[in-house]
């Protein structure tokens, strides 16, 4: 539980350490402001339930219309709410198991390599997490 961000999170791990690990977080909307709750309800009301029956919704983008004003309202309160509202149900981010890399031994080396390749590293909460 991440109280300050109003999140509940679950971690799933396969017995084989080389398999991906999954971390799923849920925004506790009921603990958010009435403005955020109203926007979430408005967006959710636009979703066609039939589009959720397969897995395509996970990589198909937004299933609702979002105004810039609503996005800004969400972003002021929750980066998680605004990200989901803007991008849809897909994965928010991915991580790398540095221990399984051949080319780099440390997270800083990986981050430097990614920066040189043009990627932006999210430094919110610290560049290295975990």
User: Residue 1 above 70 pLDDT?
Assistant: no
pLDDT per position as a tens digit, 59-100 = 888 999 999 999 999 999 999 999 999 999 888 777 778 888
d(CA 3, CA 36) in angstroms, rounded, equals 17
Whole-model pTM? 0.73
Reported as a pLDDT band with limits 50, 70 and 90, residue 130 is low
pLDDT per position as a tens digit, 6-30 = 989 899 999 998 888 888 889 999 9
Nearest to 84 by CA among 36, 119, 30: 36
All structural domains of the chain with their residue ranges: 3-94, 95-130
Written as six digits, the tokens of 76 are 């002021």
Please check whether residue 83 is in contact with residue 90, taking contact to mean a CB–CB distance below 8 angstroms: no
Angle between the N-to-C axes of helices 68-77 and 34-44, in degrees from 0 to 180, rounded to the nearest 10: 130
d(CA 127, CA 46) in angstroms, rounded, equals 36
CATH fold of 3-94, please?
2,3-Dihydroxybiphenyl 1,2-Dioxygenase; domain 1 (3.10.180)
């Amino acid at each position: 539980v991440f109280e300050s961000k109003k999140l509940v999170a679950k971690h799933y791990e396969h017995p084989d350490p080389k398999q991906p690990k999954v971390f799923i977080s849920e925004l506790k909307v009921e603990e958010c402001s009435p403005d955020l709750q109203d926007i979430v309800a408005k967006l959710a009301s636009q979703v066609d339930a039939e589009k959720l029956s397969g897995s395509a919704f996970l990589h198909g983008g937004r299933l609702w219309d979002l105004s810039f004003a609503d996005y800004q309202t969400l972003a002021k309160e929750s980066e998680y709410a605004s990200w989901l509202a803007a991008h849809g149900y897909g994965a928010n981010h991915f991580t790398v198991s540095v221990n399984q890399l051949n080319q780099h031994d440390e997270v800083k080396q990986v981050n430097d390599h990614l920066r040189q390749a043009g990627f932006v590293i999210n430094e919110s909460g610290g560049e290295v997490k975990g």
